[in-house]
Amino acid sequence: MKSCPVIAFALIAGLVSPLAPQALVADPAQGQAPSTAEAIRQSYNAVKNNILKAADKMPDDGYSFKPTPEQRSFGAWVAHVADAQTAGCSRVLGTPKTPSAGSKTTKADLVAALKDSFDTCDAAYAALTDANGNDTVQTFRGPSTRLASLAGNVAHDNECYGSMAVYLRLKGIVPPSSENMMRR
């Protein structure tokens, strides 16, 4: 089946995610699909909202929670997202920043670092166009395209959010991506 590789790429890239149930449509009334840049932005904004809400929903004392001693704490997941985004999105913008969220431990400090990382990524996604998507940018793995780097960030954020959602459930908290399903 010829569409399998395309569907597989979309799932891997985070373009289609069970955690982002909204339709990727530029103009639903016209039935027009969004541009590639807009589709990536929509996916990014969906996972951004889930991560920010998850960080907010976890109580202060839950930031040190680890399901097992070998796992990251919830706060370490927040720091990991913030550091990965700060490093990755600042490189896409051509102004690399050194991440520092990993050194923070309180909810207030970690949420502030997370919001700062999203500010950096907001600028990177706002600058993405279909015309510049194939421009070369430097990533921590070496040269890549702007589009591939930002799609990779969406995929990484979705993976991290998936782990964070499990931590919320283990604490008896409904993850943000499940809230609307509870209202049906």
Question: In the predicted model, what is the mean pLDDT of residues 68-80?
Answer: 97
81-129 per-position pLDDT tens digit: 999 999 999 999 999 999 999 999 999 999 999 999 999 999 999 999 9
Nearest in space to 151 (alpha carbons), one of 92, 98, 94: 92
**In the structure encoding, which two tokens stand for residue 55, read together?**
């960080």
- 15-70, pLDDT tens digit by residue? 444 444 444 555 656 788 899 999 999 999 999 999 999 999 999 999 999 999 99
What single-letter amino acid sits at 64? S
CB atoms within 10 A of CB 118: 23
Question: What's the pTM value of the predicted model, to 2 decimals?
Answer: 0.83
Q: What is the DSSP letter of 95?
A: -
The DSSP string of 9-25 is HHHHHTSSBTTB-S---
Tens digits of residue pLDDT in 131-155: 999 999 999 899 999 999 999 999 9
Q: Residue 11 pLDDT > 80, yes or no?
A: no
75, pLDDT greater than 60: yes
Find the length of the chain: 184
- In one-letter notation, the amino acid at residue 142 is G
| Contact yes or no for 110/63 (Cβ under 8 A) | yes
CA distances 74 to 65, 71, 137, Å, are: 6, 9, 31
How far apart are the C-alpha atoms of 125 and 79, rounded to whole Å? 21
Tell me, which fold does domain 3-182 have in CATH?
Answer: Four Helix Bundle (Hemerythrin (Met), subunit A) (1.20.120)
138 beta partners? 143
For residue 27, the 8-state DSSP code is B
